[in-house]
Amino acid sequence: MLSKRHLLTVLTAFAISATTAIPAAALDRRVRIVNQTGYVLVEFYGSNKGSRSWEEDILGPDVLGSGQSVMINFDDGTGYCKFDFKAVFDDGDELIRKNVNICEIGTYTYN
């Protein structure tokens, strides 16, 4: 049988570890998108793995010139960490990257 003192120590340690653990829903989902291609990025889409469409162009009327970057918050309330990216450039090229773990990266660069 545990003494009251030992039990209190165990419960305190458990409470501290429970409050310091970071749940998946609280992970940072901001990613800096960097364009180093030599072309203008005219459309950018980021859809979570549970989505069946590309949703809307995140850049809207803006563009991302070569050598520029933009910080995008991908937190869409779903808790997903894996996203598919689609970049459309002014020369018509489209680059699609699947399963980008936005909870583990801070920057994604197009070269």
Helix (H, G, I), strand (E, B) or coil at 36: coil
Q: How confident is the model at residue 5, as a pLDDT?
A: 53
> What dihedral do alpha carbons 28, 32, 33, 36 form, nearest 10°?
-150
Domain ranges of the chain: 27-110
Helix (H, G, I), strand (E, B) or coil at 11: helix
Q: How confident is the model at residue 27, as a pLDDT?
A: 78
The CATH-assigned architecture of domain 27-110 is Sandwich (2.60)
CA distances to 12, 23, 111 from 76, rounded to whole Å, are 34, 16, 27
Q: How confident is the model at residue 10, as a pLDDT?
A: 46
Q: Read off the pLDDT of residues 6-62 as tens digits, 9 standing for 90 and up.
A: 444 444 444 444 444 444 445 789 999 999 999 999 999 999 998 999 989 999 999
What is the rounded CA–CA span in Å between residue 18 and residue 59? 38
Q: Read off the pLDDT of residues 76-99 as tens digits, 9 standing for 90 and up.
A: 899 999 999 999 999 999 999 999
